[in-house]
Amino acid sequence: MRYLTFALAKGRLAKTTLKLLEQIGITCEEMKDKDTRKLIFTNEELKLKFFLAKASDVPTYVEYGAADIGVVGEDTILEEGRNLYEVMDLGFGKCRMCVCGPESAKELLNSHAMIRVASKYPEIARDYFHNIKQQTVEIIKLNGSVELAPIVGLSEVIVDIVETGTTLKENGLTVLEEVCPLSARMVVNQVSMKMEQERIQALIEKLSEV
Ligand code: PRP
């Protein structure tokens, strides 16, 4: 039997995923060692391998078949636009992709003004403004702390993830429009889906029971 390889997005999603996998009897003791510098972990008995990757790289590993299965947020899947199968909503990591800004920016959105939009997700922002709202905007790509942009005058609004809303509130910003709901998803390489259909299908079934 060949190994099935999982690519997990580093951080909270990976921790929750490992807990979920434990509930269906899939464990990886090696991975629990906090001091390890190892990058890839094996469960010999079940013929599984696991590795942690930066979230935005997970769809890349899966598209190229370096991982058969990936667990990553819907935000990253939409932004990366890779060829893969999205097979399951894992139901955790729930949040929303929103257009946010100061209350005063609301009229700029309604009047279809030419505005600047800062985001870590330029593709999602572009698709929303250009294709869905049909509003011509300038997209500015940032890499973090996006809430700063409207405060310091880099952009009028941002497109970003809102979970509890605390970051917005503490910075005097608010949700102006909702782009889409988000959660953690399981994605599968297109060839693996055919070659390993039975094992992957069994995994999906078990996961949907917990
Ligand atoms: C994310 C997101 C928001 C914040 C939303 O940022 O980009 O800034 O979390 O969460 P909240 O609604 O619960 O406040 P992250 O913490 O990943 O860091 P970053 O700003 O450096 O991207």
> Tens digits of per-residue pLDDT, 12-67?
999 999 999 999 999 888 888 888 888 899 999 999 999 999 999 999 999 999 99
pLDDT band at 174 (very low <50, low <70, confident <90, very high): very high
Q: How many Å lie between the centroid of ligand 1 and the Cα of residue 161?
A: 6
Kind plus residue range of the DSSP H or E element containing 186 = strand 184-188
Q: How many Å lie between the centroid of ligand 1 and the Cα of residue 163?
A: 8
Q: How many Å lie between the centroid of ligand 1 and the Cα of residue 106?
A: 22
- Same domain (yes/no): 145, 187: no
pLDDT of residue 38: 86
How many CB atoms within 10 Å of residue 207?
Answer: 19
In the predicted model, is pLDDT for residue 182 greater than 90? yes
> In the chain, what percentage of residues exceed pLDDT 70?
100
- Same domain (yes/no): 120, 54: no
Which of the two residues, 37 and 116, has the higher pLDDT score? 116
* Domain membership of residue 87 as a residue range: 4-93+183-209
Distance CA 7, CA 19 (A): 15
How many CB atoms within 10 Å of residue 159?
Answer: 27
**Based on the structure, what is the number of domains in the chain?**
2
Residues 155 and 93 sit within 8 Å (Cβ to Cβ): no
Q: How many CA atoms lie within 13 A of 3 on its CB side?
A: 16
Measure the CA angle with vertex 202, ends 16 and 12; round to 5°.
Answer: 10
- Same domain (yes/no): 39, 78: yes
- Same domain (yes/no): 165, 200: no
Q: Which atom of ligand 1 is nearest to the CA of 170?
A: 14
How many CB atoms within 10 Å of residue 3?
Answer: 13
